[in-house]
Amino acid sequence: MTTPTALDLERLTGCGAKTRGLDVRSADDATIDAIRQAIFDHGVVFFEGQTLTPDDQIAFARRLGPIVINRYFPKTEQWPEIAKVEKTETQTGNIGGGWHTDHSYDAAPAMGSVLLAVQTPPVGGDTLFADMYAAYDTLSPEMKARLVGLVARHSSAHIFGERGAYTHSGRPEMAGNIDLPEAVHPVVITHPGSGKKALYVNPTFTREIVGLDAEESRSLLDQLFAHAINPRFVHRFSWSPGSMAIWDNRATWHYALNDYQGHYRLMHRITLDGVPLAA
Ligand code: SIN
């Protein structure tokens, strides 16, 4: 293990941090360790001007951790490790257009994603990121006490399964799948890389808080969801080709805005494998 070097990082409003003057292709091992720790600590780290080929992106992602292939996203023809997050000029629905954190329906949810902008619309197509450390920290002491010991069920079927949400949002090819995992995780986790507590429920995949009646579960989840998207915890990132974000799914939510109808947007996403989560 090398000693992490100091990264030149600028804290951003709401959520995340941005690197300055770094070409990830030439990062040494200490810098890779520092990037990984920055992702754990800040939830999302942004990079500009990364003219990476698919092979470069895969090689860089592998240095951060093992890659896991998303079950549902279309893949880049030659590189199955790279999911294509694409919207054409004629499509109406986008991918990821609602608050979520990736793979929370898995028993060991993905650690994070490395998203590289390949082609961006002239205006629009930003992504929102919300800080789940801040969301947890700012809960009232009463709410924190209420969440102790609670676990929630996360599911993929209502999004990616037969008649899943993508069927009705203009991207039917993303639904109709049969491999549809679900998992139970603590509502508040201790992040395995930072040791900080984070709120770990999300509006897209979390279905219920286990053991509460349906109404109480819905009401508690709705309160948490409304709290978590306070603008104080949200950063809006504008992409241009070569921008790259690496987010930590255990510490953030994200939301791809769909406000660029008639224009093309292509992002290359690599997902990094995670570990089971604990309170
Ligand atoms: C995603 O949810 O992975 C897509 C994010 C984006 O396209 O901005």
Q: Is residue 269 annotated as part of the catalytic site, yes or no?
A: yes
pLDDT value, residue 1? 43
pLDDT value, residue 73? 86
The answer to whether position 277 is within a domain reads no
Answer yes or no: are the C-beta atoms of 126 and 257 closer than 8 Å: yes
Q: Which amino acid does the sequence have at 59?
A: A
Q: Is residue 102 annotated as part of the catalytic site, yes or no?
A: yes
The answer to whether position 150 is within a domain reads yes
Tokens found for residue 218: 């819905």
Instruction: Compute the average pLDDT of residues 51-56.
Output: 96
The CA 197 to ligand 1 mean position distance, Å, reads 24
**What's the structural domain count of the chain?**
1
pLDDT value, residue 279? 98
Burial of 257 (0-12, 13-18, 19+ CB in 10 A): middle
Tens digits of residue pLDDT in 187-209: 999 999 999 999 999 999 999 99
CB contact set of 147 (below 8 Å; sequence gap of 6+): 139, 187, 188
The answer to whether position 37 is within a domain reads yes
CB contact set of 31 (below 8 Å; sequence gap of 6+): 4, 5, 7, 22
pLDDT value, residue 3? 47
pLDDT value, residue 2? 43
* Beta strands 127-131; 234-237: pairing state: antiparallel
Q: Which atom of ligand 1 is nearest to the CA of 96?
A: 2
Tens digits of residue pLDDT in 226-276: 999 999 999 999 999 999 999 999 999 999 999 999 999 999 999 999 999
The CA 257 to ligand 1 mean position distance, Å, reads 9
219 vs 175 pLDDT, higher one: 219
The answer to whether position 1 is within a domain reads no
% of the chain at pLDDT higher than 70: 98
Q: Whose CA is nearest to atom 5 of ligand 1?
A: 256
**CATH code: domain of residue 224:** 3.60.130.10
Tens digits of residue pLDDT in 156-179: 999 999 989 998 888 989 898 899
Q: Buried b / exposed e across 60-77, counting CB within 10 Å, b at 16+?
A: bbeebbebbebebbeebe
108 pLDDT above the threshold of 60? yes
The answer to whether position 187 is within a domain reads yes
The answer to whether position 4 is within a domain reads no
CA 187 to chain centre: 17
Ligand 1 pocket test: pick from 127, 174, 243 the residue with the most ligand atoms within 8 Å of its Cβ: 127
The answer to whether position 242 is within a domain reads yes
Q: Whose CA is nearest to atom 8 of ligand 1?
A: 256
The pTM of this model reads 0.95
Per-residue pLDDT band at 44 (split at 50, 70, 90): very high
The finding on whether 39 has its CB within 6 A of some atom of ligand 1 is no
Range of the domain at 129: 9-272
Burial of 192 (0-12, 13-18, 19+ CB in 10 A): middle
Tokens found for residue 36: 């990984």
The answer to whether position 279 is within a domain reads no
144 vs 7 pLDDT, higher one: 144
pLDDT value, residue 70? 87
% of the chain at pLDDT higher than 90: 89
Burial of 110 (0-12, 13-18, 19+ CB in 10 A): buried
The CA 240 to ligand 1 mean position distance, Å, reads 14
Distance CA 105, CA 50 (A): 31
Which phi and psi angles does 38 have, rounded to 5°? -65, -35
pLDDT value, residue 5? 60
